[in-house]
Structure 1
Amino acid sequence: MDIFEGAMGDKLRKAVLAVVALLALFLGVQSVAGIAGLRYIGAGLQATNTIYISGHGEILAVPDIATFTFSVVSEKSTVAEAQADATKRINTIANYLDGAGIDKKDTQTSSYSIYPQYEYSQIVCIAYPCPPGKQVLKGYEVRQTTTIKVRDTAKAGELLAGVGDKGATEVSGLTFTFDDPDAAQAQARDKAIADAKQKAQELAKELGVRLVRVVSFNENNYGGPIYYAKGEALGMGGTDAMPVAAPEISTGQNKVTSDVSITYEIR
């Protein structure tokens, strides 16, 4: 009987210990899950009381860079002749630009193309039905286009006339912009942020609350219009053309704009 009772006692103690161990494990898991849940909830907390404010800023700045393009077009009976003529005129213009103080890094060949040129030849009709006409190769056209950056905008008009006088067939695309557009954009952004801050402070005062912190910020900006000078004939067509006076070019001012959106937490 004592042996039986001892065996039953050992089994009971083991059962109790097993239950206690399982209970401790369960409580431990629940505690860890609870802590993790609290961390997650805390990390995901967001401001519930907010106001959304937009601000606008703009500046007018005088452009410090002018750009334009010119093309040399040569039509000859063979590709070699057309290329030789175009190259000669391009070199003449390049020497002129170098003498005018334009750095080689500010000149870039935008495109270079060679196209066959055809003309339609109608066969004399002496009996019906008349034979169809045909395309006859008459030569080749070589076209080279170059983009020029002018750092002294006051010389833009002089250079437009100069490249035309030295052999450019076409001169176009005069625009005025900024060498460092980020600097102008930063000034406009500062004004936009100041505008938003002022609006937020005024609204907070009217609502009887205070601004706590910035919850979010967004910026939408654009550089405003780029001004294009009105182009006119500049005596283009080679050195045989009569030189013309440089056109008067006005750089004007470019508008740089920034729009920002700021969300503030309030209390």
Structure 2
Amino acid sequence: MNLQPSNRTNNHQQENTIKVMGEGVLSAQPNQVKITIGVKTENPSVSKAQTENTQAINNIMSALMQMGVPQRAIQTVVYQIEPQYDYVDGTQVFRTYLITHLLQVELDDISMAGAVIDQAVENGANFVSSVQFSLKDESSLQNEALTLAVHNAREKAQAIANSLSVPMKSLPIWIKELSYNDPVRFYQVAVYGASSDTSIQPGLIEIRAQIEALFEFG
């Protein structure tokens, strides 16, 4: 925060201003989760690697739909074919083709996250990229956080005015909203083989708003 004189004049008298930053923070339980999970297969034959990968992906999708995940909630987000090489005496030697097929599973029931990972791994998944908890609609909470930020800025400006023993106008001359990060919580999950009873605690997500405001005093 800083205290600064304004160059504006009103009734030919110089006015003084207080510029402050305000912050508002709320915590909320996430109500959506996106899980990125899939299969990596290697084979010297690209067609065999693709066949193995496709079979595993189909098994995963079938298992997830059987447990109640709608097909529309499952989509491919990565599909890559990459040749893999070894280096022998400084020479690049082809080894295999690596097929990576990743699915993103979007759930409104966040309590299913662990079970979805377990079911996918049991049916062929060998790679989990991320588990992302978020809020489906954070606009109302963001507005609440902005309100808190404005109150916080006014309190700071009033404290400065009080310390100077000068009156302060309660309405700011201007308010500027500052940037903030999206309310998302990420987890990295390593898969080394078949698992069971995976437990992932989503915790709380912070909704944060920041503003800059200019108040007039004196």
How would you bin the TM-score normalised by the shorter chain? 0.7 to 0.9
How do residues 150-169 of structure 1 correspond to structure 2 at under 5 angstroms? 150-169=107-126
TM-score of the pair, normalised by structure 2: 0.79
Q: Residue 149 of structure 2: SS of its match in structure 1?
A: helix
Q: Specify whether residues 105 and 264 from structure 1 end up closer, same or farther in structure 2 by C-alpha distance, changes over 3 A only.
A: farther
Q: Work out whether 1:263 is the aligned partner of 2:214.
A: yes
Partner Cα distance (1:186, 1:252) in 2? 22
How do residues 60-209 of structure 1 correspond to structure 2 at under 5 angstroms? 60-119=27-86, 136-204=93-161, 207-209=165-167
Q: Which amino acid aligns with 1:116?
A: P
Give the Å deviation of 1:219.
Answer: 2.1
Contact 1:224 1:254 in 2 (8 A): no
Partner Cα distance (1:135, 1:49) in 2? 71
Q: Specify whether residues 264 and 136 from structure 1 end up closer, same or farther in structure 2 by C-alpha distance, changes over 3 A only.
A: closer
Q: Which residue of 2 aligns with 1:233?
A: 191
TM-score of the pair, normalised by structure 1: 0.66
Contact 1:55 1:195 in 2 (8 A): yes
Q: Specify whether residues 49 and 166 from structure 1 end up closer, same or farther in structure 2 by C-alpha distance, changes over 3 A only.
A: same
Structure holding more helix per residue = 1
Partner Cα distance (2:81, 2:180) in 1? 38
Q: Which residue of 2 aligns with 1:22?
A: none
Structure holding more strand per residue = 2
1:41-82 Cα deviation digits (max 9, x unpaired): xxx966633222322211111111222211211223322222
Partner Cα distance (2:208, 2:162) in 1? 28
Q: Unaligned 5+ residue runs, structure 1?
A: 1-43, 122-131, 237-243
- How many pairs were matched up? 207
Percent identity between matched residues is 27
C-alpha RMSD over aligned residues: 2.9
1:169-190 Cα deviation digits (max 9, x unpaired): 2113123222223333222211
1:162-217 Cα deviation digits (max 9, x unpaired): 11111112113123222223333222211111122233345445533241643221
Contact 2:129 2:188 in 1 (8 A): no
Give the Å deviation of 1:250.
Answer: 0.9
1:78-116 Cα deviation digits (max 9, x unpaired): 222221221111111112222233334433322211123
Q: Which residue of 2 aligns with 1:254?
A: 205
Q: Work out whether 1:54 is the aligned partner of 2:5.
A: no
Q: Specify whether residues 52 and 81 from structure 1 end up closer, same or farther in structure 2 by C-alpha distance, changes over 3 A only.
A: same
Contact 1:61 1:255 in 2 (8 A): yes
Q: Unaligned 5+ residue runs, structure 2?
A: 1-6
